[in-house]
Structure 1
Amino acid sequence: MQYLKDDVKNSILQAALSEFKRHGYSNASMRQIANTAGITTGNIYRYFKNKEDLFHELIHPVYEKFVQYIMDIKDDFDHTCTKDTTDPLHYLRKVESTIVELFKESNVELRILLNMSSGSSYEPVKQELIQLAAHILMKVFIPGEDQQDQARIEERNLAHMLAETLVEGTCIILRDHEDGATVRQLVDELLRVYCVGIISKLNI
């Protein structure tokens, strides 16, 4: 009996992963998940309280890894980054490597987390990643201690704009490609273009 219960739960999870991948959290249908799993909709609720609970079961493991890696990078950046403006770009590459490695481990879950979690409790994750990238880029454009100087508003806006477009570009790559090697190549190229442009602007 326990084997049967585990088997049913795994069928629900596989069906849900496929549904979230196709339609995202907001548009995913519990009825369709049940149909794909070969059970009644009511039977899902014997295993999961609601759609959010089911989504959490699938996405939380990769989310925990993602948050831990990103926080480690931020802590390391805040404690070791110098005023050398070439140094912060190293941390953007660490963020990129983290995303690519997580993609290799859990590519469907990471794609859902970053691209298709709107309406769930995980929706802010992409914005948090943008904030980290902007935090790093601030150090590139405003290397001094005082980042509140009104004369620096343009640089802060530029850092945030670049961070947002860089993260969005990475998310598009994750959305459109499933092969890890292709993802790494495209993300590497995206980051290279950004870094070349940043360094050119700074006249380094």
Structure 2
Amino acid sequence: MAQYLKEDIQESISSAALTVFAQKGYSAATMTEIAEAAGISTGNIYRYFQDKKELFRAVVSDEFARTFTELIRQRVNALDGVDDVRALEVDAPYHLISEELLRFCIENRLRVVVLLGKAQGTNHEPFAEKMVHDLVKMTIAHARSTRPTFDPKETTTFSLDLVYRNFVSAMASILTRFKDEAKIREAVAGLSHYHLAGLKSFFEGASLSSRVRR
């Protein structure tokens, strides 16, 4: 006899899985816990998903990860030639893509939390590490475009790596801690203001050091 799967049950399983993955991480999460969160039997989950890996791929797809990565890339690229974000008009490309990225993170809060620190044991385990690497690389490229004398040292790259690890971790913490959109926006605005001001000061110091060495 054919099995009849119900869309509302599948959605309930997916929602419960995201919640459990975001709370415990993929590796520690169990199908039993997900079933309990969805309000169904564990056996019923396997009518909809073959195993935990398939369930994870259903709720945090490769396409989602690519979209998130592309939005981040666009945000950094929107700063090409910009030395001081505070001088930009409100409708500048940087602000527009920043809003699009923030909206994406708010609407997909738990998926972003999983990608940024709860995906150990999945195909997206390297996501956060790669994001940090890419942000460092793009930030150095931006610094070179706005400060011709800038010549990054090994210590500069190392420091930026620490900066972006902390930034990514802070973003994950904000999205974990707050569900309310207004509170997320307020927290992210504070973090971004601090981060951008710190980077500007950092690169001004690095550029001065480069000139002194010459």
Q: Report the TM-score when normalising by structure 1.
A: 0.75
SS of the aligned residue for 1:25 comes to coil
Q: 2:60 aligned with 1:44, yes or no?
A: no
**Cα separation, 2, equivalents of 1:69 and 1:152:** 28
Correspondence for 1:123: 125
Correspondence for 1:152: 153
Matches for 1:1-204 after TM superposition, within 5 Å = 4-60=5-61, 62-73=64-75, 76=77, 81-82=80-81, 85-86=83-84, 97-139=99-141, 141-143=143-145, 152-201=153-202, 202=204
Unmatched 5+ stretches in structure 1 = none
SS of the aligned residue for 2:115 comes to helix
Distance 1:36 1:185, change over 3 A: closer
**Cα separation, 2, equivalents of 1:140 and 1:85:** 9
* Equivalent residue letter for 1:63: A
**Cα separation, 1, equivalents of 2:198 and 2:66:** 33
Alpha carbons 1:48, 1:54 under 8 Å: kept: yes
**Cα separation, 1, equivalents of 2:37 and 2:198:** 48
Deviation for aligned residue 1:30: 0.5
Alpha carbons 2:117, 2:172 under 8 Å: kept: yes
Distance 1:172 1:99, change over 3 A: farther
Q: How much is the aligned-residue C-alpha RMSD, in angstroms? A: 3.5
Alpha carbons 1:134, 1:159 under 8 Å: kept: yes
Correspondence for 2:212: none
Alpha carbons 1:114, 1:171 under 8 Å: kept: yes
Compare 165-174 and 8-17 and name the one that shifted more: 8-17
* Equivalent residue letter for 2:112: L
SS of the aligned residue for 2:26 comes to helix
User: As a proportion of its length, which structure holds more helix?
Assistant: 1
Compare 45-54 and 108-117 and name the one that shifted more: 108-117
Deviation for aligned residue 1:103: 2.3
Q: Report the TM-score when normalising by structure 2.
A: 0.72
Q: Percent identity?
A: 26
* Equivalent residue letter for 2:72: I
* Equivalent residue letter for 2:191: L
Count of matched residue pairs: 197
